[in-house]
A and B are shown apart, each in its own frame.
Chain A
């Protein structure tokens, strides 16, 4: 089988000429593209071109020369952490699955609900096979034989690319029964969500695939013990699974050599907001915010950098004083900022933070599943507080109530959607408390956006 892969690789490399060397989007001096190494270079509808870029070689290596424990060990060695927000070590997560006779599942979280993120979308549209290969490897490592791709409703193009890629992989016996003659089975089922933000949360995905209302479930039991249809289930997002083949092919040390200790490897970011050139880039972890701004072409003409926001609508932020802070899990955690799924928003000084936060918190209130009290009612109360601030009716007492409410939501919410509110408020107040106070006490908005209704 490996001869077959090599043959295809040689054929394609001869026929495409220097196509693979042309990549206009990739600035090699600033970016380090390993997850996006195929994106915008290969034809996503051609499995041969993927194979030509060393595709499915990792799968072959895993199936014929490694045990599941070896795979988990290698991933642990790489230091890979979940790229969808939580930042949980992937190898550790896989090792939680107890091998048993039960059916096990892998779910690929392709419900990229964050409005500022298009990482998974780009990967699936441009390089669908890397995620598929990663899923099969994850399945081999955890004993799962069925994988679900939970793809978001708004990604029809990515879904087409994925479906086409699955068909091609099955035709080449890289997926399905007895893969490459190794005796390992793995099937992939595409499952399209219905457009709810909460269905990017892992337990909500499980509810959704089970045919229930997309509500989150209480943890523990964690999905690795009791997940989809009450069977052990591993849920990883596209970016995490997409890098797994290269980790296995090049070794955990190779991946760990990038980035900084504790935050190994690279991260794909979608740079959006008030930048000159919003785009999707891949940089090693440890890159500073200032460097990201440069990648995005700098802030708009005549404007100053104000805030670096990760996530949306579940936001955390850093202020102008943090512009040289490296993006690392540990430093961010100290300031209660999520590295997040990679969707980022850059704000300049023309944006009123109260308006920005009101927009995002309101979106959260709409997208909360409504199951647990702190999140269901808390998000809406928070929206109302921001409305009061914008209309100039809030008091300093309300600010205290907002802090208390955010802490309560962090402490008592059922899933991450509500828990994150604590971090949102903490990080916002850490950098921008003066702006809150200006609004509430002095009824002054430095951007001139608020209190309009009062004036009229």
Chain B
């Protein structure tokens, strides 16, 4: 139903049921917000979106439902004063170390303070007197309460999208701090999966990824260390955004400069994780075929994917009984690190493996935890030494005082960069699984299915399923993304399991792909921050996918590359050989104690 409202003197039409903020956004009236996230967080805490409505006390437009005949004024002196004073109060206890701040160029508080010309009214309390500061580091995420504006965005996404709800305020009033739930000392002690969603919705730098830049800088500074950077395709799809390119710009527009910048910074070799994705696909396809060949009562279906570090953490912490279902193949970048260090360091780089320092440039914050796992070590060598996110890479380039526009484009030439498989798809949801299925088909001499059609698991579900034929057998696969999606999927599987036990109709899934981030790696927790994604529902995933799709052409034939064949022949011997098992596969641990 249409209603009519007066906004700043103009009569406009609006829909019944919209909030006033919705209407203002449609009308393109600028309204500052800090805490508001569409459909996720409308707690009216920051008080920045206030307006004069029908001349009453100031109202928060994010929570006020639009009504017929409403008179809204957003630009009166009273409103502007109120916003300014709110910012003055926020500024009074914010620690302004902007020049070292990870969010220097992308800070809502800073932008709004500048916009409203905020005075230093409460100067005396800039030293944060009486406020207890907590810097809370975990293996993936760092919390810094001195930068918190108490918007609760992190709590909202952790609860509603990541589905784990490990963030909450502790203490009261001025002393309240964002903290791991139950007052635990670190996010590693609670059910955090490291997905990094919280870092993407924080308006300031109160929640950021765990810093690995210092590790990398130390390695770069050491002349005896040979530093290899391996770049995830999802990083390539988004890094341009950090340097002013529009989202969705084809990767070749800026990719050469990024590689060039990495060279200038002193990386000894720059490569991608393409080869490792081939390794992962081949090993996983073999695992799938192996299980399909087993008699019905001895297979371990449904098999679960293992490439998402967030999912592995989720499974270990919440579903220890299902760990045997997870594919034992390591995540691609870990496979590559292990392979580079243990097989080809000397052949390819001419250095001793102990001198090799492997850096994954990743869209993922959970990879940081994965890299530091005790079991990601082979022969005393860590598979991957450091993981920096897309955002950290951009910061490092900035710290190195490199102007990306002045860099001569470079093409990378590394034996690890070659891939037969589509390097774009694994980064989007359903991608790696599709490759695994097609590779399995090709290995059995069939023609790979060109287009796999997904359908929702149930009406309105965020989970999807598809059917693929392998060796005349119907293989039922499913895909789940985001912590909430993983939870729903596990619940759904449990229902199927109990139906099976009771003799009721059930669905037997063969392979389920889990992604820790909604939208897959391309929308990972370490990717450039676009708060519009949650403020107004911008479809970041589709836009970023475009930047890869325009540039990279692939067929769906999945003939292995010469390099892959060579490496198997000379190094790993064969798929799923004991050597492969030792270096390219891993085991999982029951970590459910965290939830007890």
The chain A residues found within 8 Å of chain B, CB to CB, are: 196, 198, 213, 217-218, 220, 365-374, 376-381, 384, 388, 401, 404-405, 408, 410-414
Contact = CB atoms under 8 A, between A and B. Distances in A.
B173 interface: yes
Nearest to A377: B89
Interface string B45-58: 11100100000011
A275 to B, nearest CB: 31
B172 A381 contact: no
B92 A218 contact: no
Interface stretch (B122-130, B286-294, B474-482): B122-130
Nearest to B91: A377
Interface residues of B, number: 38
Given A213-B168, A377-B93, A368 B174 contact: yes
24 contacts: A218-B60, A220-B64, A366-B173, A367-B172, A367-B173, A370-B174, A371-B150, A371-B152, A372-B47, A373-B86, A373-B149, A374-B47, A374-B85, A376-B150, A377-B90, A379-B173, A379-B174, A380-B130, A388-B124, A408-B86, A410-B57, A412-B58, A412-B82, A412-B86
Most chain B CB within a 10 A radius of its CB, from A213, A365, A373: A373
Given A218-B63, A220-B64, A411-B57, A370 B173 contact: yes
Nearest to A370: B176
Given A384-B122, A412-B50, 12 more contacts: A368-B172, A368-B174, A370-B174, A372-B47, A373-B45, A373-B46, A373-B86, A374-B85, A378-B89, A411-B57, A412-B85, A412-B86
Contact of B173 (A213, A365, A412): A365
A433 B530 CA distance: 50
B410 interface: no
Given A365-B173, A411-B58, A370 B47 contact: no
Contact of B176 (A196, A376, A408): A376
B90 A408 contact: no
Interface in B269-294: none
A217 B150 CA distance: 15
Contacts of B174: 365, 368, 370, 376-377, 379-380
B169 A213 contact: yes
A113 to B, nearest CB: 13
Nearest to A364: B173
A223 to B, nearest CB: 14
The 6 closest A-B pairs by CB, nearest first: A370-B176, A368-B173, A218-B44, A377-B89, A380-B174, A408-B85
B43 interface: yes
Given A218-B44, A218-B60, A414-B45, A380 B173 contact: yes
A226 to B, nearest CB: 11
Most chain A CB within a 10 A radius of its CB, from B168, B171, B172: B172
Contacts of A369: 172-173
B221 interface: no
B552 interface: no
Most chain B CB within a 10 A radius of its CB, from A365, A370, A384, A410: A370
B402 interface: no
A390 B569 CA distance: 83
Interface in B225-280: none
Interface of B: 43-47, 50, 57-58, 60, 63-65, 78, 81-82, 85-86, 89-90, 92-93, 121-122, 124-125, 129-130, 149-150, 152, 168-169, 171-176
B85 A371 contact: no
Most chain A CB within a 10 A radius of its CB, from B89, B93, B122, B169: B89
Most chain A CB within a 10 A radius of its CB, from B45, B92, B93, B171: B45
A377 B85 contact: no
A59 B547 CA distance: 72
Contacts of B65: 220
A220 B45 CA distance: 14
B50 A401 contact: no
Given A381-B92, A411-B82, A371 B122 contact: no
A220 B61 CA distance: 11
B61 to A, nearest CB: 11
Contacts of A196: 172
B44 A372 contact: yes
B124 A384 contact: yes
Contacts of A380: 130, 173-174
Contacts of A412: 47, 50, 58, 82, 85-86
Most chain B CB within a 10 A radius of its CB, from A367, A369, A381, A412: A412
Contacts of A217: 43
A384 B129 CA distance: 10
A408 B89 CA distance: 11
A220 B86 contact: no
Nearest to B130: A380
Nearest to A375: B173
Contacts of A405: 85
Contacts of B81: 408
A366 B172 contact: yes
B452 to A, nearest CB: 41
A333 B456 CA distance: 59
A365 B47 CA distance: 18
A381 B122 contact: yes
Nearest to A196: B172
A366 B173 CA distance: 6
B82 A376 contact: no
Given A220-B63, A220-B64, A411-B58, A381 B125 contact: yes
B323 to A, nearest CB: 32
Contacts of B124: 384, 388
Contact of B86 (A365, A374, A384): A374
A368 B47 CA distance: 16
A419 to B, nearest CB: 8
Nearest to A214: B172
Contacts of A371: 43, 45, 150, 152
Contacts of A365: 173-174
Nearest to B90: A373
A379 B92 CA distance: 13
Nearest to A197: B172
B131 to A, nearest CB: 8
A391 B158 CA distance: 45
Most chain B CB within a 10 A radius of its CB, from A196, A213, A374, A377: A377
Nearest to A418: B47
A421 B477 CA distance: 60
Nearest to B177: A370
Contacts of B169: 213, 370
A367 B174 CA distance: 9
Contacts of B63: 218, 220
Contact of B85 (A213, A379, A404, A414): A404
Contacts of B82: 408, 411-412
